[in-house]
């Protein structure tokens, strides 16, 4: 064997081993891409899950305080905290937010897999091809229905959060009423003081007149 042939054989062997390793790696983890695409969507929900819990906790406190109408100023402070918590969540679940984008991206991935399975490979039987087509079609249909439900609930959540934020006007009016009550208390005190002063002056006048 000539030196050139030996060198060529070594290069060919190295390439073959590298290619074989790549195939083996992919075959060992056939679900990696599918898992990654799905996780990209579900991780977006995980990122706002804490915000949703905080929103619920803040809303409960806010609702109890507003209903009791004991401390409007505290309610306004809680509402301002609530608005800050809601802001990030609204961004994530809005029509063009991360949740919507990732859910549509995942549906596109399923649709692409379905289309790929419909292009029958020569190394698959007709039954195997049909199994793949049916499998991807079922997953796409199921995911599409779930995304529709998520979109509907997402819309309801946005409306509810916006409605809760709208309570700020009501709470501000309660604060004004509370301040008005304080003024009334002062007016009552003035009335009492004036009445007492007048009565005292009358007593003095009667004493003077009787002397």
How do residues 48-61 score in pLDDT, each as one tens digit? 777 777 777 877 77
How do residues 57-114 score in pLDDT, each as one tens digit? 877 777 776 666 667 777 777 777 777 777 777 777 777 877 788 888 889 999 999 9
Take residue 101 and report the two structure tokens written for it. Answer: 């984008």
3-state secondary structure of 2: coil
* Residue 124 DSSP one-character state: S
Average pLDDT on 153-179 reads 77
pLDDT value at position 29?
67
Beta strands in the chain, from DSSP E residues, in sequence order: none
Q: Cα 131 from chain centroid?
A: 37
């Amino acid at each position: 064997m000539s030196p050139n042939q030996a060198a060529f054989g070594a290069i060919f062997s190295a390439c073959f081993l590298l290619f074989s390793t790549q195939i083996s790696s992919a075959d060992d983890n056939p679900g990696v891409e599918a898992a990654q695409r799905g996780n990209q969507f579900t991780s977006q929900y995980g990122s706002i899950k804490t915000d949703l819990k905080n929103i619920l906790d803040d809303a409960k406190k806010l609702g109890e305080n507003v209903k009791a109408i004991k401390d409007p100023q505290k309610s306004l402070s809680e509402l301002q905290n609530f608005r800050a918590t809601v802001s990030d969540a609204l961004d994530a679940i809005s029509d063009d937010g991360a949740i919507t984008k990732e859910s549509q991206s995942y549906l596109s991935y399923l649709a692409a897999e379905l289309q790929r399975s419909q292009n029958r490979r020569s190394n698959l039987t007709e039954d195997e091809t049909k199994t793949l087509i049916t499998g991807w079609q079922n997953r796409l249909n199921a995911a599409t229905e779930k995304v529709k439900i998520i979109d509907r609930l997402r819309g309801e959540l946005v409306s509810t959060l916006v409605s809760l934020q709208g309570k700020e006007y009501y709470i501000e009016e309660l604060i004004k009423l509370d301040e008005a009550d304080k003024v009334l208390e002062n007016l009552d005190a003035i009335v009492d003081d004036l009445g007492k002063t007048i009565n005292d002056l009358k007593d003095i006048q009667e004493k003077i007149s009787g002397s």
